[in-house]
Amino acid sequence: MNAEFRLPDLGEGLTEAEMVQWMVKPGDTVMLNQTLAEVETAKAVVELPSPYAGTVTSLHAEAGETIAVGAPLIAFDVDGEESGSAEPDSSDAEEKAQPNLVGYGAAPASSGRPARRARRGAAAASGSTVADAAVREAAPHDALPPTVAEPTVGERPRSTPPVRAHAKRRGVDLVLVAAEVGDRVITRSDVDAYADRVGAPASETASPSEAASAPATPRRPSGDRAQTRIPVKGVRKHTAQAMVKSAFSAPHVTTFHTVDVTATMELIEQFRADKSLAEHRIGPLVVIAKAVCLALSRNPSLNATWDEPAGEIIENHFVDLGIAAATDRGLIVPIIRDAESLSLTGMADALQQLTQTARSGKTGPADLSGGTFSITNIGVFGIDAGTPILPPGQSGILAVGAVRRQPWEYRGEIALRQMMTLSVSFDHRLVDGAEGSRFLKDVADILEQPGRAMLF
């Protein structure tokens, strides 16, 4: 009997998704909850587990195609017999079809919640995904052992989303790379080494991290007026829509303040030298996040939401702190829930986990929604200040500039101090200039004198 699986509701009001890659092909036998495909929504790359055990008969979408929620994705023969029916309608099919996790598959009428399987797929089409987040480079190819091993049949080559995207851009099949590197995670260097050896073309596009590590290439000839058209979709499309809506619905005001953070930087050095804190990565952003939570407790209007239909201002008594992250897929803002309840070490651990999840491409849609205040760290790009746009539904966002040593008045004399510029944008409908300035001054006071945190 034929059974059809349609693109499920992935939550958060998302109405469509892009097919990234199939993990199966017609003729493959799949198990219940086996990963069928990866799709990219406006917020994350999501794996779709199979709601059936049976044989794949047809695929209804190709990689790169945009599919609407409810559109057919894949058809199965759930009992090995062909039939004209497009939906399972027998008790035999119902026994094989099971409900899936919310946001990861169709939900037939049953109350079970099967565990999500590890990412595996028979005869996976390696290298046909898109980049999900920036990752650190691993060992160079020439440092690899000389022996190679054949990849396990039916198992997807071990790599990360950005590496698979890089392989796709260079036209490299990761199955062939896996045959050379053995049973370890494939790196970008492995892909480049293989591509250079077989004469594959260089990548047409590259992330900032790739561009920084790539060898210099000749400049294009004078008069070359070639263009590249990049479809606006996925995270980029969602971000563009959200930013336009925010910019033209909330009246933005941005206030700047230059802060002497020498005492904070010295405190961080003490933390780093303390062996008992070695497992906690306490850096400037961690201290700033803690300072923001403390300052919000004194300035609740910046941790509020403007409810237009109800004609109300909703002040939140908790802080779901968004941390903006620039990835190969675009800007995402994962959330640290109940950040106000975290100690400094707890904040460090939460931020580290958030970063690792984003880099591995595992940030889910639920982790990108519902923030009450956000921080964007533009200092990592060497930028001093900016005018950030509010995430939709939030009344405040803080931009953190670079730390620079510069002459500054200190105790009546000119001295070299470590300085930082903070920029806070706020919604002027519910935050007036005095409240925005008080919030920024409270954050600055904590960074100038970390001991002031004891007063909050």
Distance from C-alpha of 421 to C-alpha of 256, rounded to nearest angstrom: 7
Q: Are both 174 and 84 inside the same structural domain?
A: no
Residues 155 and 45 in one domain: no
Whether 368 and 334 have beta carbons less than 8 Å apart is answered as yes
pLDDT confidence of residue 432:
93
Q: Which among 213, 242, 263 is the end of a domain?
A: 213
Q: Which pLDDT band holds residue 209 (cuts at 50, 70, 90)?
A: very low
Q: Is residue 130 part of a domain?
A: no
| Cα angle for residues 412, 418, 422 (degrees, 5° grid) | 105
CA dihedral 282, 284, 285, 287 (to 10 degrees): 70
Q: What is the pLDDT of residue 212?
A: 41
Q: Is residue 237 scored above 80 in pLDDT?
A: no
Does any domain span residue 435? Answer: yes
Helical H runs in 318-425? 344-359
Which residues, in sequence order, are bridge partners of residue 254? Answer: 425
Percentage of the residues of the chain whose pLDDT score is greater than 90: 44
* Domain contains 111: no
Q: Total structural domains in the chain?
A: 3
Asked, for residue 292, whether it belongs to a domain, the answer is yes
Judgement on whether residues 414 and 292 belong to the same structural domain of the protein: yes
Range of the domain at 145: 141-213
Cα–Cα distance measured from residue 403 to residue 385, given in angstroms and rounded to the nearest whole number: 11
pLDDT at 185 over 90: no
Distance between CA atoms of 2 and 78, rounded to whole angstroms?
6
Of 96, 129, 158, the residue that ends a domain is: 96
Q: Look at residue 63 and tell me whether its pLDDT is greater than 50.
A: yes
Q: Residues 296, 185: one domain?
A: no
Average pLDDT over residues 121-145: 35
Could you give the CA distance from residue 214 to residue 59 in angstroms, rounded to a whole number?
A: 37
What pLDDT is attached to residue 223? 61
Q: Is a pLDDT exceeding 70 seen at residue 129?
A: no
Q: Are 10 and 234 in contact (CB under 8 A)?
A: no
Report whether pLDDT(154) > 70: no
What CATH number is associated with residue 437?
3.30.559.10
Pair (316, 360) in one structural domain? yes
Type and span of the H or E element at 67 = strand 66-68
Coil, helix or strand at residue 413: strand
Rounded CA separation 315/103 (Å): 29
| Active-site residue, from 60, 252, 257, 428 | 428
- What pLDDT is recorded for position 341? 96
pLDDT of residue 387: 94
Of 232 and 447, the one with more pLDDT: 447
Domain boundary among 35, 62, 96: 96
**Based on the domain organization, do 16 and 62 belong to the same domain?**
yes
Q: What is the pTM of this model?
A: 0.58
Mean pLDDT, range 246-267, rounded to an integer: 92
Which stretch of 32-41, 100-109, 123-132 has the lowest confidence by average pLDDT?
123-132
CA distance 171 to 166: 9
* CATH number of 24's domain: 2.40.50.100
Read off the pLDDT of each residue in 423-437 and give the average, rounded to a whole number. 95
Backbone angles phi, psi at 376, to 5 degrees: -125, 125
Cα separation values, 300 from 130, 315, 369, Å: 40, 6, 20
Does one domain contain both 276 and 338?
A: yes
DSSP 23-62: S--TT-EE-TT-EEEEEE-SS-EEEEE-S--EEEEEE---
Sole residue written with tokens 């049973």: 183
Active site annotation includes 166: no
Helix (H) or strand (E) holding 287: helix 284-298
pLDDT of residue 298: 94
Same domain flag for 297 and 429: yes
Note the pLDDT tens digit of each residue in 9-33: 876 567 888 888 899 999 999 998 8
Together in a domain, 257 and 382? yes
CA distances from residue 43 to 10, 178, 367, 385, 426 in whole angstroms, order as listed? 10, 30, 9, 27, 24
Mean pLDDT of the chain: 78
Closest CA to 47 of 111, 103, 126: 103
Nearest to 396 by CA among 202, 242, 246: 246
Whether residue 111 has pLDDT greater than 80: no
Confidence label for 146 from pLDDT (cuts 50, 70 and 90): very low
Mean predicted confidence (pLDDT) in 196-208: 56
pLDDT band, residue 155 (cuts 50/70/90): low
Within a domain: 218: no
Tell me how far apart the terminal alpha carbons of the chain are, to the nearest angstrom. 66
> How much is the average pLDDT of 61-65?
87
pLDDT in tens, 362-418: 888 888 888 999 999 999 999 999 999 999 899 999 999 999 999 999 999 999 999
**Confidence at 216, pLDDT banded by 50, 70, 90:** very low
- Indicate whether 257 and 338 sit together in one domain: yes
Least confident of 46-55, 200-209, 347-356, 416-425: 200-209
- State the Cα–Cα distance between residues 327 and 16, nearest whole angstrom: 21
- Considering the domain architecture, whether residues 179 and 301 belong to the same structural domain is answered as no
Identify which of 90-99, 121-130, 386-395 has the greatest average pLDDT: 386-395
352 occurs within a structural domain? yes
Q: What is the dihedral of CA 428, 433, 435, 440, to 10 degrees?
A: 110
How wide is the angle at C-alpha 87 spanned by C-alphas 83 and 90, nearest 5°? 75
The rounded distance, in Å, linking the Cα atoms of 293 and 291 is 5
User: Is 173's pLDDT higher than 50?
Assistant: yes
Query: Is 326 a domain residue?
Result: yes
191 and 295 in one domain?
A: no
pLDDT range class, residue 225, cuts 50, 70, 90? confident
Tally of residues, the chain: 456
Torsion-angle region of residue 167: left (phi > 0), alpha (psi -120 to 50) or beta?
A: alpha
Residue type, 282: I
Predicted confidence (pLDDT) per residue in 259-311, tens digit: 999 999 999 999 999 999 999 999 999 999 999 999 999 999 999 999 988 98
Q: Does residue 417 belong to any structural domain of this protein?
A: yes
